[in-house]
Structure 1
Amino acid sequence: MISHSIERKQWHLVDFALRSVRPLGFIAFMLGALSLLGYALGIDVLYRPVDDGPATHPLTALTTMLMGCGMVTSASPLPLLRRLSPCFLLALVVTCLRLFEVAYDISLVSRFMPFRQVVVEELQQGKSNSMGFNTAAMFFLAALSALFAGVRWSNLAQLFASIALCFPLVAFVGYIYGQRDFYGQMSLITATFGLIVIIGILFSTANYGALRAMLSPYLSGTIARLQSILGTIFPYSLGFALSTATATLSGKVLAVYVILTSWFIVLMVGVAAIYQEQIDQQRRRLTRRLSDVAALDELTDLPNRRKFHDFIGQKISDNVQHWLLLIDIDHFKRVNDTAGHDVGDRVLQAVATELARRCASDELVARVGGEEFAVVLPHCSQGRAWQLAETIRESVMALTIPEWTQPHGILTVSIGLVNNNGDLELTESYRKADKALYAAKRGGRNRCCMSEELETASQRAVGQEVSA
Structure 2
Amino acid sequence: MAKKNVNKLSNSVTHDIDQLASSIEQEHLKSKAWKLPGVFSLISFQLSILATLFSVTILLGYWMEVEFLYRPLALEPATHPVTAVIALFLSVSILLPNQPSLLGCLKTALVSVSAITVLVAIIDYVFSTELLPPNIIFEREQGHVHASALGNYLSINTAIMFLMLSCASLAGIYDRKSLQQIIAYVAISIPCISFIGYAYGLASFYSHMSLYTAVIGFLLGWSLLAQTSDYGGFKAILSPYLGGRIARFQSISGMVLPFSVGLFFVSLSNELNSSYIGMFVIFVTWFLVLMISISAYVQEKIDAARREVTEKLIQAANTDPLTGLYNRRQFFYLGKKELRRAHRTGNAVAVLMIDIDNFKTINDTAGHDVGDQVLVAVSNTLTLVLREFDLVCRFGGEEFCVLITDTTKEGVEEVCNKITSTIRSLSINNWTDQHSPVTVSVGACLIEKMIDLESALKVADAAMYQAKSLGKNQTYYSVAFSGAQGSLQ
Match of 1:328 in 2: 354
Match of 1:466 in 2: none
How far apart, in 2, do the equivalents of 1:33 and 1:419 lie?
71
Greater shift in the superposed pair: 263-272 or 84-93: 84-93
Greater shift in the superposed pair: 389-398 or 186-195: 389-398
**Within-5 A mapping of 1:30-429:** 30-74=53-97, 81=104, 85-110=108-133, 113-247=136-270, 249-309=272-332, 317=341, 326=352, 328-332=354-358, 335-336=359-360, 346-347=370-371, 349-356=373-380, 359=383, 362=388, 365-374=392-401, 390=417, 392-399=419-426, 409-415=436-442, 427=453
Paired amino acid for 2:61 = G
Paired amino acid for 2:123 = F
1:170 aligned counterpart, secondary structure: helix
Does the CA-based 8 Å contact 2:355-2:464 persist in structure 1?
no
Paired amino acid for 1:411 = V
How far apart, in 1, do the equivalents of 2:121 and 2:408 lie?
68
Distance 1:378 1:340, change over 3 A: same
Distance 1:374 1:99, change over 3 A: farther
Greater shift in the superposed pair: 377-386 or 409-418: 377-386
Paired amino acid for 1:326 = L
Paired amino acid for 2:94 = M
The CA deviation at 1:375 is 5.2
Distance 1:220 1:416, change over 3 A: same
Q: Deviations over 1:32-86 (max 9, x none)?
A: 1111111122222111111111111111211222222122224779697399644
Q: Using structure 1 for the length normalisation, give the TM-score.
A: 0.80
The CA deviation at 1:249 is 4.2
How far apart, in 1, do the equivalents of 2:401 and 2:452 lie?
13
Does the CA-based 8 Å contact 2:351-2:456 persist in structure 1?
no
How far apart, in 2, do the equivalents of 1:118 and 1:351 lie?
84
Kindly indicate whether residue 473 of structure 2 is the aligned counterpart of residue 446 of structure 1: yes
Greater shift in the superposed pair: 171-180 or 118-127: 118-127
Q: Deviations over 1:348-378 (max 9, x none)?
A: 6523334326746956642134433245788
Count the aligned residue pairs.
Answer: 452
Distance 1:328 1:206, change over 3 A: same
How far apart, in 1, do the equivalents of 2:424 and 2:45 lie?
57
- Unpaired runs of at least 5, structure 2: 1-26
The CA deviation at 1:440 is 6.3
Match of 2:19 in 1: none
1:368 aligned counterpart, secondary structure: strand
How far apart, in 2, do the equivalents of 1:150 and 1:387 lie?
56
Does the CA-based 8 Å contact 1:20-1:203 persist in structure 2?
yes
Q: Deviations over 1:392-419 (max 9, x none)?
A: 4334324466886678633211446799
How far apart, in 2, do the equivalents of 1:99 and 1:149 lie?
23
Paired amino acid for 2:380 = A
Greater shift in the superposed pair: 348-357 or 434-443: 434-443
How far apart, in 2, do the equivalents of 1:345 and 1:304 lie?
21
How far apart, in 1, do the equivalents of 2:62 and 2:354 lie?
82
How far apart, in 2, do the equivalents of 1:106 and 1:161 lie?
29
Q: Using structure 2 for the length normalisation, give the TM-score.
A: 0.77
How far apart, in 2, do the equivalents of 1:198 and 1:425 lie?
63
Distance 1:406 1:294, change over 3 A: same
Query: Residue 52 of structure 2: which of 14, 29, 47 is its match?
Result: 29
Does the CA-based 8 Å contact 1:347-1:401 persist in structure 2?
no
Paired amino acid for 1:272 = S
